[in-house]
């Protein structure tokens, strides 16, 4: 492999010291009041290597939330997988659905997925969002741009700017994270659609790829495969299974991603131009039913090694580098949500290597998205309970 063997913390990982079962902060409970009881249950204290952490429930009542973005005024723009987009105010009030969202294929893992503000949102109000788009044959991952009127709760000038070139049947592995690079180009992560994993290695297919496009959907001239007759010019990297976490490294500006592996082999990758990440030929994963090893091994000279792999799988989703001041000890750390184990993984980096893992907030819920807020705190989406959570020092 190009970068050496992946680090695996599955057998020697560091626990977050467990959940402190002091579930209610002092003074939060008022006997006999259902509302006070709800508030008490929503503020939890957890142990961490940085000291006690308070997790506050900012909002609840969302249905299968998938992603969120911070608006300039501090409100949250949140997607719900059934096909709704909402605004969450600072006091936790959840708006009515925003009008103008296109029809989505809300089945299995599909629906309305990621959302990101455009680089010049303050001036033009443009957002991009991804979704499973229904077609006559099945469905495909698509991306649209629109102008958001947050006060009138509507999308204007909605236009699809990208869609996968294949639309097979099935309801799994849509990928769908959206990240603007420093140059304003848009990275889109695309799953292999589960039953079509061999297409992740095919350069004439969007399945199992990360693509890079212009904000209007055009193909950047400096993409790695531009000009090749046997390849799609949008492709940035290939050999991916189902990428549900993506973020820019705060120092290098490189795209880092993570993806789900089957029964092991979840990966974190430096996702650079023209790299093959191996799936399904080179992988740490195993078949769900038989347990048989997938592929021809876990190393090959033309395949980029993951920075880290998890076995057993933690089912990662959401990803953020921390650069805030609320937790000085965490600066430069990488945070990944986990659906299966219902926790937040904190990864300490030494350059491009992961040198330590701490597992935080175990049992808090299925963490679907992770973002650093403008307040320097970490904010989470708990898919299982439809909640927005915020982490503060205790």
Q: What amino acid positions are annotated as catalytic residues?
A: 173
Query: What's the rounded Cα separation, in Å, for the pair 43 and 28?
Result: 8
Output the CA–CA distances (angstroms, integers) from residue 28 to 4, 36, 59, 303, in the order listed: 50, 7, 17, 53
Q: Residues near 103 by Cβ (< 8 Å), separated by ≥ 6? A: 83, 133, 134
Measured torsion, CA atoms of residues 4, 10, 11, 17, in degrees rounded to the nearest 10: 130
Query: What's the rounded Cα separation, in Å, for the pair 375 and 101?
Result: 29
As given in the structure block, the two tokens for residue 119 are 């680089």
Closest by CA to 197, choosing from 162, 173, 229, is 173
Reduce the DSSP state of residue 224 to 3 states and report it. coil
Q: Is the CB of residue 304 less than 8 Å from the CB of residue 1?
A: yes
Query: What's the rounded Cα separation, in Å, for the pair 343 and 316?
Result: 10
Output the CA–CA distances (angstroms, integers) from residue 267 to 206, 217, 313, 319, in the order listed: 20, 28, 9, 12
Rg (CA), the chain: 20
Phi, psi for 98 (deg, rounded to 5): -75, 135
Query: What's the rounded Cα separation, in Å, for the pair 130 and 111?
Result: 9
Q: Is the CB of residue 129 less than 8 Å from the CB of residue 69?
A: no
Query: What's the rounded Cα separation, in Å, for the pair 364 and 361?
Result: 6
Query: What's the rounded Cα separation, in Å, for the pair 276 and 266?
Result: 16
Q: Residues near 350 by Cβ (< 8 Å), separated by ≥ 6? A: none
């Amino acid at each position: 492999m190009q970068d050496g063997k992946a680090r695996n913390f599955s057998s020697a990982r560091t626990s977050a010291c467990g959940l402190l079962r002091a579930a209610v902060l002092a003074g939060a409970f008022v006997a006999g009041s259902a509302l006070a009881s709800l508030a008490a249950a929503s503020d939890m204290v957890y142990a961490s290597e940085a000291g006690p952490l308070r997790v506050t429930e900012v909002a609840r009542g969302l249905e299968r939330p998938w992603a969120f973005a911070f608006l300039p005024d501090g409100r949250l723009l949140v997607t719900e997988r059934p096909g709704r987009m909402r605004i969450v105010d600072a006091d936790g009030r959840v708006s009515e659905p925003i009008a103008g969202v296109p029809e989505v294929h809300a089945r299995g893992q599909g629906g309305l997925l990621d959302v990101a503000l455009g680089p010049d949102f303050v001036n033009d109000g443009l957002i991009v969002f991804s979704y499973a788009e229904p077609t006559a044959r099945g469905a495909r991952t698509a991306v649209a741009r629109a102008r958001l009127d947050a006060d009138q709760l509507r999308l204007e000038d909605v236009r699809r700017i990208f869609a996968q070139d294949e639309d097979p049947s099935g309801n799994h592995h849509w990928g769908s994270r959206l990240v603007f690079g420093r140059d304003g180009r848009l990275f889109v992560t695309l799953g292999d659609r589960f039953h079509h994993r061999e297409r992740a290695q095919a350069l004439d297919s969007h399945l199992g790829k990360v693509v890079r496009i212009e904000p209007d959907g055009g193909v950047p001239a400096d993409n790695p495969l531009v000009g090749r007759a046997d390849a799609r010019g949008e492709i940035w990297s290939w050999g991916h299974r189902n990428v549900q976490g993506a973020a820019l490294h705060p120092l290098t500006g490189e795209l880092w991603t993570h993806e789900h592996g089957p029964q092991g082999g979840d990966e974190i990758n430096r996702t650079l131009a023209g790299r093959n990440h191996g799936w399904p030929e080179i992988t740490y994963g195993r078949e769900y039913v038989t347990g048989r090893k997938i592929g021809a091994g876990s190393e090959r000279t033309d395949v980029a090694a993951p920075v880290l792999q998890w076995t057993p799988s933690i089912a990662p989703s959401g990803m953020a580098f921390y650069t805030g001041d609320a937790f000085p000890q965490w600066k430069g750390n990488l945070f990944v949500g986990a659906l299966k184990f219902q926790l937040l993984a904190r990864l300490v980096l030494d350059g491009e290597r992961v040198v330590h893992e701490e597992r935080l907030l175990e049992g808090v819920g299925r963490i679907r998205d992770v973002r650093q807020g403008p307040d320097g705190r970490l904010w989470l989406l708990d898919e299982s309970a439809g909640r927005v959570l915020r982490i503060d020092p205790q």
